[in-house]
Structure 1
Amino acid sequence: MARHWRGLTLGLGLLALLCAALPAAAESVLDRVSRTGVLKAGTRDLVRPFAFRDASGQFTGFSVDLIHAFHRALEQRLDREITLEIIQVDAQSRISKVADGSLDISCDIASKTWARDAVIDFSLTIFFNGTRILTERQFGLAGLPALQGKRVGVIANSSTITVIRNTVPGAEIVPFADMNQAMAALEAGEVEGISNISIILRGLQRRASQPGRYVVLPRADYLNAEPMACILPQNDSPWRDFIDRTLVRLMKGVEEYRGPYFEIYQKWFGPDGDLHYPLNQEAIRHLTEIRSWIDE
């Protein structure tokens, strides 16, 4: 009997050691927010009209309105008040801060890439656009070959760098901290082109001192289609499912130019918005496809 108890004790000891060696299950953002009452979201401040600061210094924009929509849905889901903290990030820190748990979500104009997906997860698409190049009219009329060997400004550490290397391999890539700096360099003749998603370039062109001096390339297509998404923590299925289901519900009716998502879109990109950029059929098809879930 003594030998039996010694064996049982040894077995329990080994089991305890094994349990101690196993990593604790990571707490879902949903559980943490329910426990702490705080949602931490990141966004950028110089990607107008997606995310920027208004005259009072508060974050505003299309992506910021989506963050507020997630916040409202979260309060309804948890049946309690939740404090929303919006924290400024840049093209690089938005990835690292979500990956290390400092942020629960980050929304601006993040493109989906496999390299990023290795350390974070993405929501469903929040906006569909594509990469182009804004350049002097003299180069634009000659087409993309005219930019071979020329200087093209991009955001440092952005996915645009890969797109330019793949589509205009002879271009010299010049990194900038933000697109306002890149546009200033284009107007000063320090670069021959700048690249980002088309809608950002259109906004910069509109605010230029001489808008007619510039054209976008390619004229009728994208260098690369860009489905943009919010950045979420890796391997947190309950939180990702909550964000995606909220997006699907927001997009209800978008194919008929109605519903919550369309209202937010019109606020920023409609005729009276910050930048007039009508929702085209290509974008609607993409958004309609991602919301084709059966709501059981």
Structure 2
Amino acid sequence: MKLSNIFKKNRYITVNRNNAPEINELSKPNIPSGMWIKCDRCKKIFYRKDIENNMMTCKECNKHFRIGAWERIKITVDEGSFEEFDKYMTSTNPLDYPGYDEKVNKLKNKTKLNEAVITGKGKIKGNDVIIAVMDPSFMMGSMGSVVGEKITRAVEKATEEKLPIVIFTASGGARMQEGMFSLMQMAKVSAAISRHDKAGLLYITVLTDPTTGGVTASFAMLGDIIISEPGALIGFAGKRVIQQTIKQELPKEFQSAEFLLKKGFIDKIVDRKDMKNVLAILLSLHK
């Protein structure tokens, strides 16, 4: 196909009931799917490869697009140093929730993940670290029993090996299909982090978009140092729910990383391109 024909619209003639010719034009140009990406903040359209080469951040307004767990590990952990934990751990359906098994299996095929978090051991600029990275593409990173178990085991491994742990959060909260089993993970992970803290070890949380619900209400906000990416949505209940409950209008920037930084809930906002360097400095300072 010639490059000159990529954006060419096709025209064709049809005949209506009165035998009058009508000229119709196909509404969509022949553009390969996924070639372009539109930033929902500045509304500009970019060639996808340019955004990917910029660590999935907008070159105009610095919006940080959501990325998957493996993409996050690739740009954060030293090449060849990552050793994954509990790779094949997968969800069951403890409450026999209708359609849950089918949904999980469909997502496994689509995302090539077994669950909404990847855990393991690696190095960040030579610093040994245990890392857990949540993935919003798998049921919006919702915390079910497997997510809680994998993160708990990672924290316990960090405690056992006397290593710091970094957790990248991205979650819609507790997984409703697992009911109380999901809610129990809040306490389980938090208890493991408490033991890690008592051992005098470092825990860094990196909040990414979105971090909400039970994850925010538990381990996401327990870090010794809490970092966030710019513009991340961080909160517990939804903004509309809060407004309806308290009968007050909330600030426009409410539940944004920038708002939480002003209120002292987080320690620093770090651009994705700088995250590895910042983490490396913090890890080296706390050896």
TM-score where L is the length of structure 1: 0.26
TM-score where L is the length of structure 2: 0.27
Which structure ranks higher in relative contact order (CA pairs < 8 Å, sequence separation ≥ 6)? Answer: 1
